[in-house]
Amino acid sequence: MARVDLKAKPYYLDDEAIKWVKDTIDSMTIEEKIGQLFVNMGSSRTEEYLTDVVTKYKFGAVRYNPGTAKEVYDQNRILQKVSKIPMLIAANTEAGGNGACTDGTEIGLEVKVGATNDAKYAYEMGRVSGIEAAAVGCNWSFAPIVDINRNWRNPIISSRTFGDDPDRVLEFSKAYMKGFMESNMVCAMKHFPGDGIDERDQHLSNSVNTYSCEEWDETFGKVYKGMIDAGVHTVMAGHIMMPAYQKFFNPSMKPEETMPATLCKELITDLLRGKLGFNGMVVTDASHMVGMTAMMKRSDILPNAIAAGCDMFLFFNDPDEDFEYMMNGYKNGVITEERLQDALERILGVKAYLGLHKKTAEEITPPEEGLSVIGSEEFKAIAREVSDKAITLVKNIGDSPLPLSPEKHKRILLVPQEKESAFALMAGGAGKKESYIDYLKNKLEAEGFEVTIYESAIDKIAKLPKEEVGQAMKNMYAGKAPITNITDNYDLIIQVAYVDSLCATVQRIEWKLSKGTPDMPWYVHELPTIFISLCCPFHLADVPQVKTYINAYDKNNHTLDALVEKLVGRSEFKGIDPVDSFCGLPDTRW
């Protein structure tokens, strides 16, 4: 096992800082050493709770639940005050400062930034993320996402990737990291060894990167090596198997011994640290994901993750159980003294790189006045610019309705197709403001259009008394309606899809049961039809018949503002397709 070199990249520590790392470790009790291996996810922000859990479990880092800037700031101030050793405090700033606090600025999901075809916006995403996260007391981000999307069916990184080209992913990831580190922050690129090949979500099942060693070297390996050379400090290991490289380093292994990277010495110690030369710190992805929990008993998972070469373990399940499992793994020799020492040096090495050892607990959290930068007009203007540059006219063939005008398309029917993820609900994303479909309706009406929002027959039937539902369903399927019911009443139909997929097995449209109604775009030869996706870029697989297809990437108001400007022809469509929105299917191009 190669031991960490704290004088080398990415730490560059001087003798004084190295002495602090070594002396601090030497002064720790074994309980404090084991505690440093954990990243906690707190269930409360009260000072009593935070003081109690830090004192009891002595964890080395935190990644917290969403909250406002002031809530997160107060939490982080308490954590640093009560922690004996300065703490790493992480945020998921994948798309902007909104990953650090709910009132932070979302610059754009990775695929949206990739669609601008300009790495300066990835830099801005990192810069804004760093400024806003630092203001609330964070010092670490679980970003950038360096996955490469090579499978349109993959539901977990559909919008969470800069694209399908390793060169673009590397260029944009380096730009993000450069911007983020300007605020004296460190990044955790993820999810090693790389998502985007399998179509499964490691939250819910196994996930496998099936590339050969050669294919991986030319794609994911190129990105990881480039980021390591650029000085990334930490890597998040994913619950993703890679049989080719595990077999390469362990030729005698049996297929059933294949493990996700978080539990695989061959991938973490031999590939990441050995072949790629990564000298930094490794954190596991969240330990409640089925891609990890289904591999072995939890009592074995914790120490084996550290033994494999991971340095920090993301999230307790039950803190008492997990602490005991990790301690027993050390006492039983699964975690050797050498591996524990190495992990601790890497963890404290990151803290020393950040200069936390030179600050008092009060100085680590910045002055509260700095919260004034959160959601600044400067940052919002960047987000608006990204929307203008990113919205992509993927397909526009035949007799296109663009640009729209009230003279030609006075009567518009908006048909929403939506599914919100549980994560959006947890963050308070549902019902807190005017819905995106109402906002779009109002924008179009301000342009002089008459707009109707379609309500599906199924949604209407769902409002009936239970005893009437069955007969209503039968009536719907027995009934027939003339096509003129649509063609005589509307001049244009716009399908608007928002299907969020995080922790879902698929990111496909779930069509409402219907018969000849506007739910499904069967009418592309009857009326001009536009399909707009506000999330997943791959809906052409489900609507190949549509002749005009637009990816807008999100449903933020400024995105919809830019979208309407483009629909009516006052602004050009500037975005490029960073992934294969045609899904590798020939009929999607017709």
Which are the catalytic amino acids? 285
Q: Which of 257, 263, 278, 270 is nearest to 146 (CA)?
A: 278
Residue type, 274: G
Helix, strand counts (H, E) of the chain: 23, 14
| Residues composing the chain | 590
Q: Phi, psi at residue 192, to the nearest 5°?
A: -60, 135
Q: Which of 119, 38, 49, 12 is nearest to 343 (CA)?
A: 38
CB 158 within 8 A of CB 502: no
Please report where in the chains the tokens 């800069």 appear, as a residue. 162
Detail the DSSP E strand segments found in 266-410. Answer: 281-284, 313-314, 392-396
**How far apart are alpha carbons 59 and 93 in whole angstroms?**
22
Work out the widest C-alpha separation in the chain, in whole angstroms: 82
CB 36 within 8 A of CB 298: no
Other Cβ atoms within 10 Å of 366 Cβ, number: 16
Which DSSP state fits 192? E
How wide is the angle at C-alpha 5 spanned by C-alphas 341 and 80, nearest 5°?
60
Strand order in the sheet with 38-40: 281-284, 234-237, 186-192, 140-141, 88-91, 61-63, 38-40, 313-314
CB 545 within 8 A of CB 589: no
**How far apart are alpha carbons 63 and 45 in whole angstroms?**
12
Q: Phi, psi at residue 25, to the nearest 5°?
A: -65, -40
Residues 6+ apart with CB under 8 A from 397: 547, 548, 590
Please report where in the chains the tokens 């580190």 appear, as a residue. 181
How wide is the angle at C-alpha 48 spanned by C-alphas 43 and 53, nearest 5°?
55
Detail the DSSP E strand segments found in 218-361. Answer: 234-237, 281-284, 313-314
CB 503 within 8 A of CB 467: no
H/E stretch holding 62 reads strand 61-63
Q: Which of 542, 547, 489 is nearest to 519 (CA)?
A: 542
Q: Which of 530, 528, 529, 544 is nearest to 581 (CA)?
A: 544
CA distances from 424 to 56, 143, 387, 418, 531 (A): 32, 19, 20, 13, 23
Which residues share a beta bridge with 236?
283
Please report where in the chains the tokens 């880092």 appear, as a residue. 61
Q: Which of 249, 243, 278, 251 is nearest to 265 (CA)?
A: 249
**How far apart are alpha carbons 506 and 154 in whole angstroms?**
7
H/E stretch holding 141 reads strand 140-141
CB 260 within 8 A of CB 294: no
